Amino acid sequence: MSLQGKRIVVGLGGGIAAFKAVQLVRELMRRGAEVRVVMTEAAGRFVGPITFAGLTGKPAVTDLWAEDYAGEVHVELGEWADAIVIAPATMNLMARATSGQANDAVLATLACARGEVFFAPAMHHRMWSHPATQLNVRLLTERGAVVLGPVTGPLANGEVGEGRMLEPDDIADAVESRLAHTDDLKGTRVLITAGPTHEDLDPVRYLGNRSSGRMGYAIAAQALRRGAEVTLVTGPVQLPAPTGAEVVSVRSAQQMHEAVMSRFDRFDVAIMAAAVADYRPAQRATHKIKKGGGLKLELVRNPDILADLGAKRGSQPSVLVGFALETENLEQAARDKLEQKSADLIVANEASSGLGQDTNRATLVDASSASPLPEMSKRALADQILDRVRALLKHPSRKPRHEAERGAPN
Catalytic residues: 209
Other beta carbons less than 10 A from residue 182's beta carbon: 13
Verify cis geometry, omega within 30 degrees of 0, for the bond prior to 400.
no
Residue 284 exposed, middle or buried by CB count within 10 Å (0-12, 13-18, 19+): middle
Residue 183 falls in which region: left (phi positive, over 0), alpha (psi -120 to 50) or beta: left
Does the CA dihedral 70-71-75-81 come out positive or negative?
negative
The closest of 307, 347, 343, 308 to 325, measured between CA atoms, is: 347
β-strands 269-272, 189-194 pairing = parallel
Residue 382 exposed, middle or buried by CB count within 10 Å (0-12, 13-18, 19+): buried
Q: Rounded to 5 degrees, what are φ and ψ at 396?
A: -55, -25
Q: To which H or E segment does residue 294 belong?
A: none
Distance CA 131, CA 91 (A): 11
Burial 74-112 (b: 16+ CB within 10 A, else e): bebbbebbbbbbbbbbbbbbbbbbbeeebebbbbbbbeb
CA angle 319, 320, 321 (to 5 degrees): 120
β-strands 151-154, 160-164 pairing = antiparallel
What does DSSP assign to residue 61? B
| Residue 327 CB partners (closer than 8 Å, separation 6+) | 350, 351, 352
Distance CA 264, CA 251 (A): 19
Distance CA 359, CA 137 (A): 11
Other beta carbons less than 10 A from residue 255's beta carbon: 16
